[in-house]
């Protein structure tokens, strides 16, 4: 009888919604139904809020590639967000609103900045890497501030959203929501493919024991630089979408505080778990949006909550969910 009880408990599976493979499906399913639910409530507000959630989920996802899997703490990651946004703003200021021109420029400028700064930053380690990425991020910020023709410190308002093949398709919030949803799904699938590939295993091996990986013969600098460029380019895509969603471009997108927020999103959701970055971005932005409705001193609640998650929820919110489901 006792043996049967033990056998039953050992073979009992955790709830399906808490299984690792079900979490991303659940997240994407919830994001998918938002437009259908929003039509019965404050549609414009809800669509705008969750578009912002998905855009920052892309940015957090890109950071997780180098932070969660590569152990590279970058305090300049928001610079790529700014490069993507300014590609839209600068072209729009000159009358070029075609997305098929703006998007390649956004991706290319972010990739080039990542390549140049990454080639220098990755020659350092630890706190030196943190400081040099912070310095490059601040350089990008002050460059944007100095662009007086494009609003300078005040930023610039866009004349409208990007056109797709000459048509104003993205002026409809639902169409833009669908585009952002597809972009998030594509970035997630790409990131997952990278992580489970041989390339991703080398990156993870370098995180655990770089000396051993180098001794085996892997050129770690090239692998890490490639991942750094991919992450920067992906964040540039988030910048392109963010400019279209807000209709505004500002140097504030590039500040180190914004980079810090992205780091918090990744840690909050769970380092080294791609859907954890999405969960962390959603939790961060939704709490930031809804807590002020309860008290003007909402930061006194938000701050300690983040500290408690970091201290006691090993693996972030995703790790806490797994332990609740019996997967601790």
The answer to whether residue 103 is domain-embedded is: yes
Query: pLDDT of 236-252, one tens digit each?
Result: 999 999 999 999 999 99
In a domain, 193, yes or no: yes
For the segment 146-165, the average pLDDT, to the nearest whole number, is: 89
pLDDT on residue 22? 75
- Tell whether the model's pLDDT for residue 21 goes beyond 90: no
pLDDT of residue 17: 44
Note the pLDDT of residue 325. Answer: 61
pLDDT at 250: 92
Q: What is the pLDDT of residue 248?
A: 93
Is 259 part of any domain? Answer: no
Does residue 230 belong to any structural domain of this protein? yes
* pLDDT surpasses 90 at 120: yes
Residue 192: band (very low, low, confident or very high) from pLDDT cuts 50, 70, 90: very high
| Domain count for the chain | 1
Mean pLDDT of 52-69: 94
> For the range 45-52, what are the long-range contacts, defined as Cβ-Cβ under 8 Å and sequence gap of 24 or more?
47/173, 47/174, 47/177, 48/173, 48/245, 49/285, 49/286, 49/289, 50/177, 51/173, 51/176, 51/177, 51/180, 51/241, 51/245, 52/242, 52/245, 52/285
* Residue 265 covered by a domain: no
Query: What local confidence, expressed as pLDDT, does residue 271 receive?
Result: 86
Domain that holds residue 112: 34-254
In a domain, residue 4? The reply is no
User: Is the pLDDT reported for residue 4 higher than 70?
Assistant: no
Residue 11: pLDDT band with limits 50, 70, 90:
very low
Using the predicted structure, report yes or no on whether residue 8 has a pLDDT greater than 50.
no
The answer to whether position 11 is within a domain reads no
**Between 11 and 26, whose confidence is greater?**
26
The yes-or-no verdict on residue 164 having pLDDT over 60 is yes
- Which long-range CB contacts under 8 A does 48-52 form with residues at least 24 apart? 48/173, 48/245, 49/285, 49/286, 49/289, 50/177, 51/173, 51/176, 51/177, 51/180, 51/241, 51/245, 52/242, 52/245, 52/285
Residue 294 lies in a domain: no
Residue 225 has pLDDT above 90, yes or no: yes
Q: Is the pLDDT reported for residue 179 higher than 80?
A: yes
Mean pLDDT of 46-74: 93
Predicted pLDDT of residue 2: 44
């Amino acid at each position: 009888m006792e043996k049967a009880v033990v056998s039953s408990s050992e073979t009992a599976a955790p709830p399906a919604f808490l299984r690792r493979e079900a979490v991303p499906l659940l997240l994407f399913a919830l994001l998918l139904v938002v437009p259908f639910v929003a039509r019965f409530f404050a549609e414009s507000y809800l669509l705008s809020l969750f578009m912002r959630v998905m855009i920052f989920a892309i940015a957090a996802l890109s950071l997780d590639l180098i932070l969660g899997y590569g152990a590279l703490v970058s305090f300049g990651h928001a610079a790529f967000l700014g490069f993507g946004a300014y590609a839209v703003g600068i072209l729009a200021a000159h009358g070029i609103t075609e997305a098929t021109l703006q998007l390649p420029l956004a991706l290319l400028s972010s990739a080039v900045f990542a390549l140049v700064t990454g080639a220098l930053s990755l020659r350092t380690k630890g706190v030196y890497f943190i400081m040099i990425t912070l310095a490059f991020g601040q350089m990008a910020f002050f460059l944007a501030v100095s662009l007086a023709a494009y609003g300078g410190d005040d930023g610039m308002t866009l004349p409208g959203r990007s056109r797709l093949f000459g048509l104003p398709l993205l002026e409809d919030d639902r169409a833009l929501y669908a585009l952002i949803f597809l972009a998030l799904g594509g970035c997630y699938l790409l990131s997952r493919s990278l992580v489970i590939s041989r390339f991703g295993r080398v990156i993870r091996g370098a995180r655990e024991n770089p000396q051993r990986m180098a001794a085996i013969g892997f050129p770690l600098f090239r692998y890490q630089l490639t991942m750094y460029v991919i992450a920067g380019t992906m964040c540039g895509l988030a910048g392109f979408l963010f400019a279209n969603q807000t209709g505004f471009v500002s140097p504030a997108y590039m500040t180190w505080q914004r980079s810090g927020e992205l780091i918090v999103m990744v840690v909050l959701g769970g380092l080294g778990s791609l859907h954890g970055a999405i969960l962390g971005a959603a939790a961060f932005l939704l709490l930031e949006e809804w807590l002020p409705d309860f008290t003007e001193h909402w930061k006194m609640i938000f701050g300690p909550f983040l500290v408690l998650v970091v201290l006691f929820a090993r693996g972030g919110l995703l790790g806490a969910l797994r332990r609740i489901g019996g997967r601790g």
